[in-house]
């Protein structure tokens, strides 16, 4: 690592979250950058990376050194490195540092992290370096250096993280020439309520059999060994978790997995095997560090009769009602399955075995997580980089507020918000305010008409009626708006009444 530049560095362990909408995999696909941010301040280039290494498969007695590198043409600059030690390697590292020669200390990385499955395996990397002009066109890569442990040669992997640093551009025009300053001072803009860390849920199902899965390029679990089933379940869950981490500001809360079997074979044996299968799958997922710091619940239902009954109701099976009657009134351990086999010479049971039981056998999962709303700077970055789908309504308002009221950028953001959130009163009322300030009455009416009875819309409805020449109706709306405490309504009323007197 180059030591020519003094670089302030801060690094802290984070919960599983991301700052951009797209993660970049590196080091054999076992690690990925879930967020990246670049900015300029006080002559320094600030680089922030959120790194997730839940999938890192490294022996406990080995280590990995990560070095971010800026490259542009012949210019290259190494940034401070991060050393990830396995648990045993960390003990050796501490001993070496303790007994190192103080006169000739060994070079050490900027940050050392222990690869411990018991804690969240992610970190936030933040560094500031003196800015040079060549850096604006630089690409960022991460050089991953394996340790030369146990006599083997450590491999080096280089993965590109960013083609070009996405630095904030200078603010554009400060004023939209189509905006009327008088009407801009009369309309009111409504700030939507901020989002809370609401609990969100993603669910999915992995079938044991099914043509749909093959058509989607997914492997059904039927016919696979238990080990391969575990791998397929792990792979599907890992993909679902990656999708969550790519959403800005997420934190995992819980992962629930439920396996469902069908009445095939001996009941007692099925019931004995169910908890063993659940423990085996949970152990495999923990061993492969799937959401290591997140509560993981795995259970197995040996015979899913609830789903069997639901599917029978939807089917065209012969003797459907008789089969349902047996299922609802005969206990499992009192000969339910045997009676179904004897019903109508076994024809209904044959239908069950061929059509219903294979559809019942599956593994369902539910992932719960919370989303932390991004701050003003992050909202602006997401908007500028085209990741607008990751923003919620109140975050659009935050982006708009970063520009002067009446500027082209301010107007465009609020107009876009109304198109993306067509059923939101706040989004439509704000877009109407923009249209009114530009004298676009027809457009303003399209935005406002549905929400004219809401108190928050009274003021802008009054301005709309005023622009349309209906002064009596405008006064009614503005009076109600003033009574609701909207200051702009008082100013508009004063002007309206003064003009009426003359």
**C-alpha to C-alpha distance for 300 and 292, rounded to whole angstroms:** 21
Note the pLDDT tens digit of each residue in 200-224.
788 999 998 865 555 455 678 888 8
In angstroms, the CA 212 to CA 206 distance is: 11
User: Where does a domain end: 339, 370, 401?
Assistant: 370
Query: DSSP characters for 377-404?
Result: HHHHHHHHTT-GGG--HHHHHHHHHTS-
* Nearest one of 19, 53, 14 to 245, comparing CA atoms: 19
Out of 370, 391, 407, a domain closes at: 370
State the Cα–Cα distance between residues 300 and 297, nearest whole angstrom: 10
What pLDDT does residue 17 have?
36
| Domain contains 491 | yes
Q: Is residue 438 a part of any domain in this protein?
A: yes
Cβ 298 vs Cβ 346: under 8 Å: no
Query: Is 415 inside any structural domain?
Result: yes
Pair (138, 33) in one structural domain: yes
Residues 145 and 211 in one domain: no
How far is 84 from 127, CA to CA, in rounded Å? Answer: 18
The answer to whether position 388 is within a domain reads yes
User: Does residue 32 sit in the same domain as residue 105?
Assistant: yes
Cα 432 from Cα 50, distance rounded (Å) = 39
Residue 19 confidence (pLDDT): 39
Strand 199-207 vs strand 362-371: parallel, antiparallel, or unpaired?
antiparallel
- Assess whether 480 and 418 both reside in one domain: yes
pLDDT at 426: 93
pTM above 0.85, yes or no: no
State residue 265's pLDDT score: 81
Domain that holds residue 497: 181-195+373-501
pLDDT at residue 267, rounded to an integer: 84
pLDDT for residue 196: 59
- Count up the domains in the chain and report the number: 3
403/451 same-domain check? yes
* Same domain as 135, residue 23: yes
- pLDDT for the residue numbered 14: 36
128 inside domain: yes
CA angle, corner 236, sides to 235 and 242, nearest 5? 90
The answer on 218 and 187 residing in a single domain is no
Please tell me whether residue 268 adopts helix, strand or coil conformation: helix
257 and 149 housed in the same domain: no
Residues 486 and 407 grouped into a single domain: yes
Has residue 344 been placed in a domain?
A: no
Examine residue 434 and state whether it is found in any structural domain, yes or no: yes
Residue 34 near residue 163, CB atoms below 8 Å? no
What pLDDT digit, counting tens, does each position of 288-317 carry?
A: 878 767 889 999 999 999 999 999 999 999
Let me know if residue 326 belongs to a domain.
no
191 lies in the same domain as 75: no
- Considering the domain architecture, whether residues 426 and 471 belong to the same structural domain is answered as yes
Spell out, as residue ranges, where the chain has pLDDT lower than 50.
1-21, 103-104, 106-107, 170, 172, 215
Length of the chain as a residue count: 502
d(CA 159, CA 51): 14
Residue 25 shares a structural domain with residue 142: yes
């Amino acid at each position: 690592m180059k030591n020519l530049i003094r670089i302030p560095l801060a690094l802290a362990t984070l919960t599983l979250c991301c700052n951009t909408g797209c993660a970049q995999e590196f080091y054999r696909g076992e690690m990925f950058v879930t967020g990246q941010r670049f900015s300029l301040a006080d002559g320094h280039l600030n680089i922030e990376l959120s790194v997730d290494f839940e999938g890192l498969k490294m022996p406990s007695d080995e280590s990995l050194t990560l070095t971010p590198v800026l490259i542009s043409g012949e210019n290259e600059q190494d940034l401070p490195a991060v050393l990830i030690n396995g648990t045993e390697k960390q003990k050796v590292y501490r001993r070496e540092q303790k007994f190192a020669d103080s006169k000739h200390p060994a070079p050490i990385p900027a940050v050392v992290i222990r690869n411990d499955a018991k804690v969240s395996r992610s970190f936030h990397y933040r560094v500031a370096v003196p800015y040079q002009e060549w850096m604006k066109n630089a690409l960022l890569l991460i050089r991953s250096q394996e340790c030369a442990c146990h006599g083997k040669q450590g491999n080096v992997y280089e993965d590109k993280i960013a083609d070009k640093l996405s630095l904030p551009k200078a603010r554009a025009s400060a004023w939209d020439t189509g905006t009327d300053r008088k009407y801009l001072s009369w309309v009111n803009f409504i700030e939507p309520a901020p989002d809370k860390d609401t609990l969100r849920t993603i669910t999915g199902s992995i079938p044991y059999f099914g043509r749909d899965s093959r058509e989607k390029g997914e492997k059904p679990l039927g016919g696979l060994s238990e080990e391969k089933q575990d791998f397929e379940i792990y792979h599907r869950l890992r993909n679902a978790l990656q999708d969550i981490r790519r959403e800005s500001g997420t934190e995992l809360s819980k992962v629930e997995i439920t396996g469902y079997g069908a009445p095939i074979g001996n009941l007692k044996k099925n019931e004995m095997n169910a908890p063993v299968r659940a423990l085996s799958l949970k152990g495999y997922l923990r061993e492969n560090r799937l959401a290591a710091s997140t509560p993981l619940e795995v259970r197995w239902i040996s015979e899913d009769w609830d789903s069997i009954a639901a599917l029978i109701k939807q089917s065209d099976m012969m003797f459907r009602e008789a089969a349902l009657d047996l299922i609802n009134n005969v206990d499992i351990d009192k000969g339910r399955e045997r009676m179904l086999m004897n019903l109508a010479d076994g024809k209904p049971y044959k239908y069950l075995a061929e059509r219903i039981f294979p559809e019942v056998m599956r593994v369902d999962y539910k992932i719960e997580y919370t989303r932390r709303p991004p701050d003003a700077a992050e909202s602006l970055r997401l908007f500028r980089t085209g990741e607008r789908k990751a923003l919620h309504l109140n975050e659009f308002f935050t982006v708009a507020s970063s520009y002067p009221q009446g500027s082209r950028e301010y107007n465009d953001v609020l107009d876009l918000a109304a198109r993306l959130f067509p059923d939101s009163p706040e989004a439509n009322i704000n877009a109407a305010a923009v249209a009114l300030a530009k004298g676009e009455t027809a457009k303003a009416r399209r935005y406002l008409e549905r929400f004219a009875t809401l108190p928050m819309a009274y003021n802008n409805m009054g301005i709309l009626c005023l622009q349309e020449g209906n002064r009596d109706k405008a006064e009614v709306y503005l009076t109600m708006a003033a009574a609701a405490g909207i200051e702009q309504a008082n100013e508009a009323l004063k002007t309206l009444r003064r003009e009426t007197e003359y």
